[in-house]
Amino acid sequence: MTDRPTKDAWKKLAEREIKAPPDTLTWNTPEGIEVKPLYTAEDLEGVGHLGTLPGFEPFLRGPRATMYTGRPWTIRQYAGFSTAEASNNFYRKALAAGQQGVSVAFDLATHRGYDSDHPRVEGDVGKAGVAIDSVEDMKILFDGIPLEKISVSMTMNGAVIPILANFIVAGEEQGVPRALLSGTIQNDILKEFMVRNTYIYPPEPSMRIVADIIEFTAKEMPKFNSISISGYHMQEAGSTLVQELAFTLADGREYVRAALKKGLNVDDFAGRLSFFFAIGMNFFMEAAKLRAARLLWSRIMTEFEPKKSSSLMLRTHCQTSGVSLQEQDPYNNIVRTAFEAMSAALGGTQSLHTNSFDEAIALPTEFSARIARNTQLILQHETGVTKVVDPLAGSYYVEALTNDLAEKAWALIEEVEAMGGMTKAVATGLPKRLIEEAATRKQAAIDRGDEVIVGVNKYRLEQEDDIDILEIDNSAVRQAQIARIERTRRQRDPSRVEEALAALEKVARSGEGNILAAAVEASRARATVGEISDAMRRAFGDHAAIPEVVGNVYGKAYDDEPEFQTLVSRLEQFAGSLGEKPRIMVAKLGQDGHDRGAKVIASAFGDIGFEVIAGPLFQTPGEAADTAIVSKVHVVGMSSLAAGHKTLAPQLVEALKAKGAENIIVVVGGVIPRQDYQYLLDHGVAAVFGPGTNVLDAARAVLDLMEGKRRNQ
């Protein structure tokens, strides 16, 4: 019998196979974690979490002892379609087909606390989710869905008060008391200030809203999760997994402190806190991230000295990545989502949403949503993954990754703590800047081909076929919503509404009383989402962020590469003939706050040599035209992620013409179906850059347009 081979023996064998030292196979992740080609028991020496069991502190192996062997994760598909009627129809079909909970996506007008008849949201109503203007919409949304039995998750932060108030009243009028309502409200405003940007009020009053909701639900809604602390949007904005993990848990710590300041006992609410993480394509690291999250949350909660063990548990919902979805060769997205779903299951999620393959360009169709839902059903029923608790436990690689992620995330959490906590860190802009730098580095790696995306920067199809997409008639939805608002206003008691809104504003101004409790009364009187939001706007004011652009990140990734330097030189020559740097304004129109693409473009174009003006969020086409004219830009690049491009881009072109600035070139980039390109070109847009466009290619095309315009002048 031969002796067991040593690691040195393996190294010699590996070196013969690859004709190089095996250390050359080491991979440095974006998180700064060194991933080796071989892991052994030596890599786990000193790792303290080994030997723990699921259901026991620190819950690394799962919050429940039996995990999926006793009950699989909840299949909860996130969806919202234009009107309450359309969404209700989708939910009822999905529940009949095996979905186990409802997860509501709201349109952008609702997110920002505007009624559908507000002039600022003409291009946003019914786009990217369902429009909710009052209790009447909410009642239709859940018609025929028994709220005492079905758990409802609502992704809402900015207008969280009127939406939750409407839900409570809709339940009451369905005959379900608030104490029996189950589900989750996201209510995670710190993340909004960092990445997603669907905020309304400044940070301090926003944190008060969070605390009031935690207080109200702890006392009145024992089955309802008062907050879903979200890292999902951080990863979607470009964060590394360490940043997602650290900033999410630091947010959670801040919310616990806010609740304690309300005089609550930690055990009265800690068990109703939940988390929400993205699951991307780094398969093993994503599973390890969820395990590390439970370990670190238990550590954080210990400092608040809870008496209940359950107060130390991290429970989480997960969603497969939206950023990993690609427009090119889109059926590949089905495979990506399946791998991400498996990773979430192996990491121990409590519920899961799987994205549909067409969501890189539009809302999902019934066909694509069925595939996404069946992905989870197949995972639960056909793969055997639910037969064993934490099947990755003891893996040398996964346990080492879990430990590495926990250590790096804890170091970042402590850095935030040294700044005075997450609210103060957010105020400095540190988390936002770090995430934007990470996003820009990732885009540079993709553009260079260092990170392979199948069908995008490698193995591309010669000819892309169009796929069927769900298109929303924005104007028809808006008119229907306006008609319902007008009917609701005619039928309600005006004096009762006025009294309820005045009482709400008084609670908001004085700091005495609970904001959600006051909003429930206003909702019951049929005050609209916009009216309730405006009452709080009068008390708190609006938050307006100052856009900043990171620099020397995209260009640094290219160093002295000829392709990049050629473009830089060409731009310098054009600037010389122009007599100034070419100026481009990157504009975000409408109420879509997702600005990852806009920020990456602004940063990269700045490194290439353009003078970049970052337009503020939430502009109307007219406001963007004014900014462009005042800034004397040559090009406006409109970023579109929420299907408003067919409304907003032509309005921008017309606004520039009306102001005598038709010489300014308009280009559009973002989540735009290929079927819409010609429509935009026919309406005055000079070029369209769809998902997956290489930034250098986009910069060359913009420069071509500017040179062509100059030659023709």
DSSP string computed for 507-533: HHHH--S-HHHHHHHHHHTT--HHHHH
User: Which pLDDT tens digit goes with each residue over 388-431?
Assistant: 999 999 999 999 999 999 999 999 999 999 999 999 999 898 99
Mean pLDDT across the chain: 92
Q: Is 488 within a domain?
A: no
Residue where a domain stops, chosen among 402, 423, 444:
423
* 31 contacts 405 by C-beta, under 8 angstroms: yes
- The yes-or-no verdict on residue 81 having pLDDT over 70 is no
- Do the domain assignments include residue 447? no
Contact 503, 521 (CB under 8 A): yes
Residue 269 maps to a domain: yes
pLDDT (mean) for 248-268: 95
Residues 87 and 234 in one domain: yes
**Is residue 463 pLDDT above 70, yes or no?**
yes
* DSSP summary character for residue 192: I
**377-386 confidence digits (pLDDT tens):** 999 999 999 9
pTM for the model stands at: 0.91
Same domain, 416 and 269: yes
Distance (Å, whole) CA 470 – CA 82 = 11
Q: Is the per-residue pLDDT at 361 higher than 90?
A: no
Last residue of a domain, one of 423, 439, 471: 423
Is residue 472 a part of any domain in this protein? no
- Known catalytic residues are 78, 232-233, 588, 592, 594
3-state helix, strand, coil in the chain (%, to 5): 55, 10, 35
Domain boundary, last residue among 391, 423, 455: 423
Q: Which domain holds residue 685?
A: 555-707
Residue 464: other Cβ atoms inside 10 A: 14
Do the domain assignments include residue 506? no
Q: Which CATH number does the domain housing residue 649 bear? A: 3.40.50.280
How far from each other are the two terminal CA atoms of the chain, in whole angstroms?
Answer: 86
Instruction: Label residue 471 by pLDDT band (50, 70, 90).
Output: low
Q: Could you give the number of structural domains in the chain?
A: 2
pLDDT at 363: 73
Give the domain CATH number at 97: 3.20.20.240
Reference 561, options 403, 445, 399; nearest CA is 445
Residue 467 covered by a domain: no
Q: What is the mean pLDDT of residues 83-110?
A: 87
In a domain, 489, yes or no: no
Q: Is residue 163 part of a domain?
A: yes
The edge-to-edge listing of strands for the beta sheet with 687-689 is 611-614, 583-588, 635-640, 665-670, 687-689
